């Protein structure tokens, strides 16, 4: 799969691009069954919400389940990433971020490169975040908010917030966010289950709490160029994978093949 010229232009202008109907209902069902399996495991790689104890983010998924081992090599994710970055890529992080119904807490305003640089020594903001919605995402269940074009203004100042939620995060101050919003405006990423979303490492984003009765799980694969790989190794393997083998795409039916093998 390749992005169109229009989609590439949208990504360059806004810092993100939505890909509706990227995965079928059957493929999403396969991913959701695998999600249940990994969420049931007692592991540090399942990070729970500070208040409710519900899973907030489950990480290292491709090392834990065959479905996700195939998903991180799916051509509908790998090929667009290679098209944008134009070189060999490695699997930097694999997770599902969940906003559990009623209990899913916020993700503060941030951009991923702040963490990748400060914690992992990644030199440049090249990594791509490739998302797939596992349930419908609407205005009520905690969609991602993007500051359009914020990637054009360089790395914003960031501070390490270790107290607001259960997941320490390098965050952007409110006054900086307000200035960036004034320049580019806001957009929310909503769509039906199976929708895809690509955004860059320096795009400022966040998401509100989920006050709705609908869960909001999103699969996330981060791919980075091998030349831009991490240089620090303080974080656990499930937060930043140290296998720099170039990722290769499987067949387009790789998720359905896992179902057939059962």
Residue 125: per-residue pLDDT: 97
Residue 232: per-residue pLDDT: 97
Residue 235, exposed/middle/buried by CB under 10 A (0-12, 13-18, 19+)?
middle
Q: By three-state DSSP, how is residue 36 classified?
A: helix
**Cα gap 65→78, rounded to integer Å:** 19
Residues 6+ apart with CB under 8 A from 212: 101, 102, 138, 140, 141, 142
Residue 216: per-residue pLDDT: 98
pLDDT score of 132 more than 90:
yes
Q: What is the pLDDT of residues 240-262, one digit of tens each?
A: 999 999 999 999 999 998 876 65
In this structure, how many other beta carbons lie within 10 angstroms of the beta carbon of residue 55? Answer: 20
Q: What is the pLDDT of residues 57-116, one digit of tens each?
A: 999 999 999 999 999 999 999 999 999 999 899 999 999 999 999 999 999 999 999 999
Instruction: Report percent pLDDT > 70 for the chain.
Output: 99
Q: What is the pLDDT of residues 191-218, one digit of tens each?
A: 999 999 999 999 999 999 999 999 999 9
CA-angle at 110, arms to 32 and 74, nearest 5°? 35
Residue 259: per-residue pLDDT: 74
Read off the pLDDT of each residue in 234-245 and give the average, rounded to a whole number.
96
Domains along the chain? 5-226+245-260 (2.60.120.620)
Instruction: Report percent pLDDT > 90 for the chain.
Output: 97
Cα Dmax for the chain: 53
């Amino acid at each position: 799969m390749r992005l169109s010229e229009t989609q590439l232009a949208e990504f360059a202008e806004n810092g993100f691009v939505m890909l509706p109907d990227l995965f079928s209902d059957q493929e999403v069902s396969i991913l959701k069954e695998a999600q249940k399996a990994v969420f049931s495991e007692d592991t540090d790689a399942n990070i729970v919400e500070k208040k409710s104890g519900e899973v907030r983010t489950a990480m290292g998924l491709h090392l834990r389940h065959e479905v996700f081992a195939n998903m991180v090599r799916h051509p509908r994710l790998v090929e667009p990433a290679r098209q944008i970055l134009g070189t060999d890529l490695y699997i930097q992080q694999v997770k599902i971020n969940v906003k559990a119904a009623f209990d899913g807490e916020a993700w503060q305003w941030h951009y991923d490169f702040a963490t990748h640089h400060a914690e992992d020594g990644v030199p440049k903001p090249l990594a791509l975040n490739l998302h797939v919605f596992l349930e419908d995402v609407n205005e009520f269940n905690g969609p991602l908010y993007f500051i359009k074009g914020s990637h054009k203004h360089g790395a914003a100042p960031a501070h390490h917030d270790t107290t607001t939620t259960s997941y320490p995060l390098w965050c952007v101050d409110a006054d900086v966010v307000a200035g960036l919003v004034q320049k580019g405006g806001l957009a929310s990423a909503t769509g039906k289950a199976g929708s895809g979303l690509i955004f860059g490492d320096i795009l400022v984003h966040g998401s509100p709490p989920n006050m709705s009765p609908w869960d909001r799980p999103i699969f996330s694969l981060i791919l980075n160029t091998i030349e831009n790989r991490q240089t620090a190794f303080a974080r656990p393997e499930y937060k930043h994978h140290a296998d720099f083998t170039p990722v290769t795409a499987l067949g387009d039916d790789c998720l359905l093949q896992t179902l057939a093998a059962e």
